[in-house]
A = this chain, B = another copy of it.
Amino acid sequence: MARPAAAKKKAPAEVRKRGAEHAGRKPTPPARPRVARRPRQAEDKRSVILSAALGLFSRYGLHGTSVDQVAARADVSKSNLLYYFANKEELYVSVLRELLHVWLEPLRGFSAEQDPREAIAGYIRRKLVISRDRPDASRLFCLEMIQGAPLLRDELDRELRTLVERKSEVIAEWVRSGRLRPVAPHHLVFGLWALTQHYADFAVQVQAISGRTLQDAAFFEETVDNVQRLVLDGICAPAAVPA
């Protein structure tokens, strides 16, 4: 509560050019440890820490991860880490916030004018890309959900809920106009999420059974294709489809 960074949010907002004011004072910096510091500093350090934290939190959760571990992975000392983030929980929440953005993004882009097939196929692909490229984001999100989302409850009730509401309206419209079979919009949304995130959250299981990963380009395309066909056409042979 009584520390510079601890105050609230941004700590090392602007970093003065190092050595500018020291120029000439010290003839030779007594054994400067770092070799030619890369320009990225401060603001950048925060993000290094954040991504290290994401990696660990998304696997072991808040309690399963110690700040020591995060510090080690980010290659900073524990106390240095605590200079940038007042405490463990603030770090955790910071990670979550960044995440929510990434996670909600694909949801935004489809409207009633689009062709439902196109729109949904595209959405599935985008979500699977995230499962492939940001599995940690997906996992952490999942962890939060399982625990009852104590820290995201508000966002869940507001942003996500209203976003889904709008989206559902689009789906309902598609159904009304006869372009989709009668599905309950909410359930379709849940289904799309479930089907796509599964490949990130249960990656070990997927790997244990299929022996493949989304990293494998062929497997990725195969997955996109299968999920799209499942959702769009179902699995029953046409003959069995009544009306």
Q: Which residues of A contact B (CB under 8 A)?
A: 58-64, 116-117, 120, 139, 142-143, 145-149, 153, 156-157, 160-161, 164, 178-181, 183-184, 186-191, 193-195, 197-199, 201-202, 204-206, 208-210, 222-223, 226-227, 229-238, 240-241, 243
Contact = CB atoms under 8 A, between A and B. Distances in A.
B237 A233 contact: no
B184 A222 contact: yes
A64 B63 CA distance: 5
26 contacts: A60-B147, A61-B61, A63-B63, A142-B201, A145-B201, A145-B202, A145-B205, A156-B208, A160-B205, A178-B237, A179-B240, A180-B236, A181-B238, A183-B235, A184-B222, A187-B223, A188-B230, A190-B198, A191-B195, A191-B227, A230-B230, A231-B234, A232-B240, A233-B236, A238-B241, A241-B241
